[in-house]
Amino acid sequence: MLASTLGVDWDHPDWIFEVKFDGVRGMLAFDGTSVSITSRRGNAMAVTYPELVGFRSQSQVILDGEIIALDDEGNPSFGRLQTRMNIRSKAGAAQALGKAPATYVAFDLLYLDEPVVGRPWHERREMLESLEFEGAPMLLTPVEDDGSALWGAVTERRMEGMVGKLKTSTYQPGLRSPDWRKVPFIQRMRAVVGGYTQGERSRASTFGSLLMGLVDGERLRYIGSVGTGFNQQTLRAIKEAMDQMAQPESPFHPDREIPAGSVFINPDLVASIEYKEWTGPGRLRAPSFKGFSDDPWQEVTFEAEGPK
């Protein structure tokens, strides 16, 4: 079941609110003997996260939840979890386990010796809280009636966001339902445009994405590229401006992740960017273009705009 992006009254008595953790969605199932962990796409993940397969219960169960990794301050870190996500061998998982241990946060119950998806959320929640188990999961603590207080805590800690759920909602597998509503916490920053990638298909006459950087000494530190947030009019206007600013030299410090074949420009443009978070290598996650600023590019430094 997926959450919609509709608005929600944070103080409505028919709704509960939970922290939206930044991790990987996973179904954890125990058949009475062994544990399986399955991704949204149906891929097996038990080998990737062996620390989660110690789950045991007196009943056969299927849980819905999020696999997360915590940073040194106890906050979910998608960047840290990324070091685990592509591991497909027991040896690789054992090696990475000590550096970025995973936690399973259970937020729903789908099966308890029989399917329970047709029951309302508040009944499934009571069953989940009464479940006796050993091992992996940690349970979310929902907030009732005062979603605004939770939102304050989420934004203060710069977490992913929160989810509102109708207390009477059944579990609707595979559907994006208005009975669950996600409220993402989006951050905004300034970044300097140092170039662009060549466009393809519908963007062949404009560009693919803007190369973003922050002033670090005499050059820009590359922080990733942004390819969303444009319409056809802005694509054409930005491309025309950049055509007048093209230069052969890169304004960036050397970085292996700058796409090959990129076109570099004189770094005069300062963009306003929305994003979810910084990843470990100093890259923006899920950036989106929101417009340009008239701030001097020399002021858009890594110290001022980089991860705090």
Q: What is the pLDDT of residue 72?
A: 82
Decide if pLDDT at 253 tops 90: yes
The ranges assigned to domains in the chain are 2-184, 187-305
Burial class (CB in 10 A: 0-12, 13-18, 19+), 138: exposed
Token couple for 8: 């929600």
What is the pLDDT, as a whole number, of residue 8?
86
Top CATH class, 187-305:
mainly beta
**How does strand 102-112 pair with strand 61-69?**
antiparallel
Q: What is the pLDDT of residue 180?
A: 97
- The model's pTM is 0.73
Residue pLDDT, tens place only, 165-194:
999 999 999 999 999 999 888 888 999 999
Name the residue among 260, 307, 269 with its Cα closest to residue 289.
Answer: 269
Residues 6 or more apart whose CB falls under 8 angstroms from that of 254 comprise none
pLDDT tens track for 39-50 = 988 889 999 999
pLDDT at position 139: 84
Q: Does domain 2-184 have CATH number 3.90.550.10?
A: no
Catalytic residues: 20
Mean pLDDT of the region 286-297: 91
Q: What is the pLDDT of residue 108?
A: 96
Measured CA to CA in angstroms, residue 187 lies from 114, 160, 209, 214, 220 at distances of 42, 10, 20, 16, 21
Q: Give one word for 174, left, alpha or beta, with left for phi > 0 and alpha for psi -120 to 50.
A: left
The angle formed by the CA atoms of residues 92, 95 and 98, to the nearest 5 degrees, is 135
Interacting residues of 188 by C-beta distance below 8 A, sequence separation 6+: 272, 273, 274, 275, 290
**Residue 169: φ, ψ to 5°:** -70, 135
pLDDT-derived band at 86, boundaries 50, 70, 90: confident
Angle value at C-alpha 104, between 98 and 108, nearest 5 degrees: 180
Element containing residue 151 per DSSP (H, E): helix 147-156
The whole-number average pLDDT for the span 65-94 is 82
